[in-house]
Every structure is written in structure tokens, then in C-alpha cells.
Amino acid sequence: MKDVKELIFKRKKREKLFIVLSLFFITFALMSLLLLIVSILVDGYSVISIKFLTSYPSRKPEEAGILSALVGSVYVLVIMILFIVPIGIGAAIYLEEFAPKNTLTHFIEINIVNLAGVPSIIYGLLGLEIFVRFFGLGRSILAGSLTLSLLVLPSVIIATREAIKLVPYSIREASLALGATKWQTVRHQVLPVALPGILTGIILAVSRAIGETAPLITIGALTYIAFLPTTPLSPFTVLPIQIFNWISRPQKMFHKNAAGAIIILLFLTFMLNLTAIILRNYYKSKYRL
Amino acid sequence: MGKRIQEEIIKSIFFIFALISVFTTFGIIFVLLFETIQFFKEVSIIRFLTEKEWTPLFAVKKFGIWPLLSGTFLTSLIAILISFPMGLSIAIFVSEYMPFKLKAIIKPIIEILASIPTVVYGYFALLFVTPLLKKIIPSISGFNALSPGIVLGIMIIPTVASISEDSLSLIPRSLREASYALGATKLETVFKVVLPAASSGILSAVILGFSRAIGETMIVTIAAGQRPILTLNPLIPIETITAYIVQVSLGDTPTGSLEYKTIFAVGMVLFSITFTFNIISHNLRMKFIKSFKL
């Protein structure tokens, strides 16, 4: 009898051991997140000022700022949004509402899933050859926006499809029964209901694009720009490339600038993600999905 | 009649939008193949596969891919060694032990972890983790494979954890209940019943995580150095495929030159590796899902 009790005790102890181990791992993951944020805040808070936001990069670290990088990022993202919204939503509507069930549709679907797993730097090589060289756009904002558009389109399409799928079928049937065409049904019934879900997908895509560095370096975005871009064909730099540039310098003061710019970048990324999470929760509770 | 024409036009436009994804895939394959073939016209594929040094930017040019491959695999291997045990135990804990309400808090945190730009992880690796490692291992170089490997591992924990958790949650309750009925504890049920049943789903998570680590660029570019050395020593500088592409892109390499073509040749290698791993991972997962969803 004593042996059995001991055995049970041993097995329960193992159980507790595992829970402790898991909690340790979760704490490790959360702690590294915390450490990352705290170490960056400590390194960078002192450089953040209006001057930091409104100055051009400089050879002197104390005078350098992120103006051209911030403006470059905004330009690239705005133009990217102009591409991904119609194309992403249109492609998703086609696949969900219009596409016949055939080999081609299946092929497109598999393609989109596969593209989502291609390393971002490969998109940089594609953009370099197609947009920069073949279409002659040069190392411009437009080439950057197009490259990032191709990079995030798969995730926009996947998110939009999910949102459209969640719209109850009865809504479509009611609209079709009243004599509306398929497109009228999609335009006036399905899209308004799916809108928060679609928006969530687009915001997440923007939040991913804002931090993308490698593909833009590959297409030849500059690392040092002391003027503001004027047209979509201007050369440009973006916030993460400016950060990378400062990290790669040996002087400690530039590392502080990098940390300061990271604070701005993380702030923007987290705000976008937070908006997306709130939007998604609202959407889910509204339609009880 | 007008309505029907409008309907057809809209449908066609959306069809073309959907085809853009196919064009993208073909574009990637075409561009990489085209430049790679140009490259192999100048440098024989035998040199690419047999030489042991990678020095296309030096006066004495050597074109052996192995140093870049070893660098890529070394950092990714370290990343998996970190993220597999952590990701899996987090997944087990979240799916089997954690109360539902806590899950709702943990998931957004994991999503935020996944949304941090990689250049930020690069900063963390070079200016936080490397100095920390230097205190523990004084002989470690300022640039090394270990520090970016660890940070890569932290970066892919969300991938490994969330896909593993999805796999665990697909295992039917009845299997667990049968195990409990035989007197097994929760932990014994997890390790002897649930995990073996979910093994192919978890394997797919690990392969996908590995593929992510292989394709990651900024962390290794910033913290691993730019010295292509054929080694498995994690304490000295190395160079990965992705870091090499960035190194060339930052310089003033004239388009059409041999150096320019090298980035497409190594890009082709990178694309083939990640593509293969992604397909294996995807197929494993689909097979796994099918076996449990009736």
C-alpha cells in the first residue's frame, strides 16, 4: 500500500515539475520581450525629441534625426495601400464568390499559401529585377511600394477570404432572392458585413510592411538621404533601414539614435496591431462568430 | 443586359487580380532561374558545389556555396534548439493546462511578439545578447552565430507554439478520456497519448519554424558578421545566404556584373530550400488535419 502511495506521489510530482518548467519557458519568452523593450527604452529614450523627429540624418550623431526615413516610410506605405486594397479584396472576392471549383482555382489557392512562406528577401530580388530594372522604375518609392505590395498581398487575400467566409449565407440568399445580381449582393451585403475583418487584415499587412527591411535594401533603397522625396520616382529610405544603418556604425552614440528610432517604429507597429486586435474582437462579438 | 455585362467585367478584373499571385510565383522562379543560368555560364556549377571558400567580392574569386550554407544552417539549428522545447511546452501548457480566460490574455501577447520587426531583434542580438554572452563565454567574438541564433529562436517561438497548439487541439477528447480512464495522469496522457497522436502536426510546426529561420535576414546580417567561413563553431563570425545578399545590395554593385548575378544564384538556393521545407510542412499538416477531421 505504501508503495502505491509513493508511486502516485512520484507521478504527481512529475506533473508539477512539468508545470513549473512550462511556466519557466513562458516567463522566459515574456521576459525576453520585456527585456527587449526595456533595454531599448533605456538606450533610446534620451534622444527622442521634436528635433529628432524633424532632423535629417547627419554625420554627427547628436544632430541626426529620422525625418527623411519617417516621411519615406509613410510614402511607401500609402502607395502600397493603394495597390493592396483593391487587388487584395478583389482577388479574395473572386476566390470566395465567383471562382468555379476547378484545377485553376485550386492552383491559385495553393499558390497564395506558398507565397506567404517565401522569405521576404526573395521578394527583394524579384522587385530588383522586375520593377527596378525591367520596368525602369529605378530605386524609387514606387518600386519599393510595388515590392512590398507583392510581399503582403498573400496575407491580405487570406485574411479577406476568412472575413468573407464568416458572413452568414442567409444574408446572401436574402439579397439574391430579391433579384440582386451576385456583384450587387457582394457589394451591398457581404462587403459591409465583412469590412471590419478585411480592415484587420489590411492593418496587419501594413504593420508587417512598416518593419520590412531586407527587401527594400535589396531593391536598393538608400541608407543616407538628406532630402524629402517629391515624387513616387524619388530615391528614398525608410525607418527600419535608417535603424539598420545606425546599428551598423561603430560609434555608441549612433546606437542610441538607433534605439530612439526603434521606439518610434515599435510604437507605430504596436498601435497598428492593437487597432487590429480591438477591431477583430468588436467584429467577433458583434456577429457572435 | 447592361447589368450582366457589368457583372462579367467585374468578375474578369477580379480574376486577373487573383492571377497576380500566380504571376508572382512565376516571376520569382523566372527571375531566379534566368540570373542563375547567366551566373553558371561564367562560373561552372562544379566550382559552386566543390570549392570550400566563398569570396566573389575579392580579387581571388572562389565560388563555393558551402560556407554560406553552413552559416545559414548553423544559426537556424541554434534557433530550433531554442524554439522547439520552448514552443512545444508552451503549446502543451496553453492547450492542456491553462484556463480559458488566461488564454485570451496570452494569445495577443504572443501575437505582439510575432509582430516585432526583425531589425529590432537584430539590435537586441548585437547590443544586448552578445554582450551578455561575452560575460559567460569570454572567448566569443563580437560577431558570432550563437547570439543571432538564440534571438532567431525567440523570434520563431510564436510560429512553433501556435501551430503546435493548433495540432494539439485537434486531438479528440475521447483519446484523452480513454487514457484518464486507465488511470493515467494528465502529464502521462499528454506525453504518451496526445503527443504521439499529434506528432506529424508538431513536426510540421518545427519544419516551418526552421524554414522561417533560414529565410530570416536582418538578425543574422546585424549580429552574425560577414565572414563566410565553413565552420560549425558558434562562437566565431559567419555569414548566411541572406546576409550575403544584403552585403552585396548595400555596395555599389553594377547590375549585370558577376557579383550581381551571385545574389540571384544564392537566392535560388535559398528559395529552393525554404520552398521544399514549406511544402513538406504544409503536406504534413494537411495529412494530419485530414486524419482527425472526419
pLDDT on residue A165 = 92
Does residue A27 register a pLDDT over 90? no
Is B11 in contact with A154 (Cβ distance < 8 A)?
no
C-alpha cell at B4: 450582366
CB of B210 closer than 8 Å to CB of B277? yes
Q: What is the pLDDT of residue A222?
A: 82
The C-alpha atoms of residue B141 and residue A187 are separated, in whole angstroms, by 60
Q: Spell out which residues of chain B touch residue A252, defining contact as CB-CB under 8 Å.
A: none
Smallest Cβ distance to A126: which of B31, B126, B208? B31
Interface-testing mutation among A111, A151, A273, with chain B (most B C-beta atoms within 10 A):
A111
Q: Which of B192, B194, B210 is nearest to B82 (CA)?
A: B210
Mean pLDDT of B249-254: 83
Neighbours of B234 (CB within 10 A): 21
Contact (CB, 8 A) for B186 and A15: yes
- Report the pLDDT value the prediction gives residue B115, as an integer from 0 to 100: 86
CA nearest to B260, candidates B25, B34, B27, B29: B34
Place of cell 563555393: B64
A72-88 confidence digits (pLDDT tens): 999 999 999 999 999 99
Nearest to B231 by CA among B146, B131, B135: B146
* Confidence tier at B253 by pLDDT (50, 70, 90): confident
**Residue A289 pLDDT > 60:** no
Q: What is the pLDDT of residue A160?
A: 95
Q: Looking at residues B168-172, what average pLDDT do you find? A: 89
Place of cell 529552393: B272
B 52-71 near A (Cβ less than 8 A): none
Q: Is A56 exposed, middle or buried (0-12, 13-18, 19+ CB in 10 A)?
A: middle
With a cut of 90, say whether residue B237 has pLDDT above it.
yes
B146-170 helix and B258-292 helix, angle to the nearest 10 degrees: 30
Whether B128 contacts A35, CB under 8 Å: yes
Using only the alpha carbons of chain B, give its radius of gyration: 23
Contact B188 A108 (CB under 8 A): no
- Structural contact between residues B217 and B243, judged by C-beta atoms closer than 8 angstroms: yes
What does the block give as the cell for B201? 502536426
- B81 near A CB under 8 A: no
Alpha carbon distance B162, B285 (integer Å): 13
Determine the angle formed by the axes of helices A141-165 and B2-42, rounding to 10 degrees.
Answer: 130
Which residues of chain B have a CB within 8 Å of the CB of A240?
A: 117, 119, 218
Q: What's the mean pLDDT in A27-48?
A: 88
pLDDT at position A146 is 97
pLDDT of residue B1: 60
Query: pLDDT digits over A93-126, tens only?
Result: 999 999 998 999 999 999 998 998 999 999 999 9
pLDDT surpasses 80 at B34: yes
pLDDT of A288 above 70: no
Q: What is the pLDDT of residue A23?
A: 86
pLDDT digits (tens, 9 = 90+) for A166-212: 888 999 999 999 999 999 999 999 999 999 889 999 999 999 999 99
Higher pLDDT: A57 or B220? It is B220
Cell output for B235: 562562437
Looking at residue A185, its pLDDT comes to 93
CA angle A69, A74, A79 (to 5 degrees): 130
- Chain B's closest residue to A257, CA to CA, is B123
Q: Is the pTM of this model over 0.90?
A: yes
B217 and A214 within 8 Å at the Cβ level: the answer is: yes
Q: Which of B124, B246, B128 is nearest to A266 (CA)?
A: B124
Residues above pLDDT 70, as percent of chain A: 98
Is B223 a residue whose pLDDT tops 80? yes
| Enclosing H/E stretch for A16 | helix A2-44
Contacts of B255 in chain A (CB under 8 A): 133
Distance of alpha carbon B225 from alpha carbon B237, whole angstroms:
5
Q: Do A118 and B246 touch (CB under 8 A)?
A: no
**pLDDT of A68:** 92
pLDDT for A1: 64
Q: Report ipTM (2 d.p.).
A: 0.92
Mean pLDDT estimate for chain B: 91
Residue A177, all three cell numbers:
432572392
Q: Does B154 touch chain A (CB under 8 A)?
A: yes
B116/A86 CB distance under 8 A: no
Q: State pLDDT tens for residues B124-154.
A: 999 999 999 999 999 999 999 999 999 999 9
Q: Which residues contact A285 (CB under 8 A, 6 or more apart)?
A: none
H-helix segments, chain B: 2-42, 45-50, 66-92, 100-115, 118-124, 130-136, 146-170, 173-181, 186-189, 195-215, 218-223, 241-250, 258-292
Using DSSP, state whether B117 is helix, strand or coil: coil
Model confidence at A143: pLDDT above 80: yes
What per-residue confidence (pLDDT) applies to B88?
Answer: 92
**Mind listing the pLDDT tens digit for each residue in A213-248?**
999 999 988 877 888 888 899 999 999 999 999 999
Q: How far is Cα B44 from Cα B225, in angstroms, rounded to an integer?
A: 28
For residue range A242-258, list pLDDT tens digits in order: 999 999 998 889 999 99
**Side chain identity at residue A167, one-letter code:** V
**Band of the pLDDT at A287, cuts 50, 70, 90?**
low
Q: CB burial class (10 A; 0-12, 13-18, 19+) of residue B101?
A: exposed
